[in-house]
Amino acid sequence: MSTNRKLVGKPCRDRAAGFSLIELVVVIVIIAIIGAIAIPKMSRGSAGAGDSALTQDLSVLRSAIDLYNAEHPTAQLGPSTSTATLISELTEYSDSTGTVLSTSKNTTSIYGPYVRGTTLPALPVSSNKGQTAVTITTPGATASTAGWFWDGSTLWANCPNSDVDATGKQYNQY
């Protein structure tokens, strides 16, 4: 019998186990391509979320003001409305004359609240992001640190002209 005989059917164990350098490079390149495609799409999504939140907040607040004015024809929210009155009229219960009577519904306080909470929602975008205060002013003003501007007929975001959305539209023009 020969001692130099090879075993038939047994795998050769001469090579070390593991991945080759080429296999590792191919995997890294594939991961980089997937990252280059996915990361910009995710970042655009977060920017669009702020724009959508601002649009939704303005829609809700403007609808709340319209509903208040429809239910209180003798006590319209208008140019003579102070910011404190605007906030209390939108966040508390009132009677048919617009007099704020209660923070809870009762037999005389049947209208409202038109906005949940005790303040208006926080501004979701811009350098004044997070601000909830309202300032009475004229359209186009940006001097205040308030989140919202009220000119007696409409409410809009207090954002500098340089703050724009992804399409280049100024937030204060929403």
Q: Note if the pTM is more than 0.85.
A: no
Contact 112, 86 (CB under 8 A): no
Q: Residue 6's pLDDT is what?
A: 56
Percentage of the chain beyond pLDDT 70 is 84
Q: Rounded to the nearest 5 degrees, what angle is found at the Cα of 145, between the Cα atoms of 141 and 151? A: 40
Q: List strand residue ranges (DSSP E) for 72-136, in order.
A: 93-94, 100-102, 134-136
Given a cut of 60, is residue 7 above it in pLDDT? no
Burial class of residue 107 (count of CB atoms within 10 Å of its CB; 0-12, 13-18, 19+): exposed
Average pLDDT taken over every residue of the chain: 82
The alpha carbon torsion through 110, 75, 103, 84 (nearest 10 deg) reads 160
Distance between CA atoms of 87 and 169, rounded to whole angstroms? Answer: 28
Distance between CA atoms of 83 and 163, rounded to whole angstroms? Answer: 24
Instruction: At 35, list the tokens.
Output: 């990252």
Distance between CA atoms of 158 and 133, rounded to whole angstroms? Answer: 10
Q: Dump pLDDT digits (tens) for 83-101.
A: 888 888 899 988 888 888 7
Q: Which residue has the higher pLDDT, 152 or 6?
A: 152
Q: Tally the C-alpha atoms within 13 A of residue 174's C-alpha that lie toward its C-beta.
A: 30
Question: Band of the pLDDT at 12, cuts 50, 70, 90?
Answer: low
Q: Dump pLDDT digits (tens) for 38-54.
A: 877 776 666 678 888 99
State the residue for tokens 């703050």: 163
**Domain map (residue ranges) of the chain:** 21-173
Mean pLDDT of 134-163: 80
Percentage of the chain beyond pLDDT 90 is 22
Given a cut of 90, is residue 141 above it in pLDDT? no
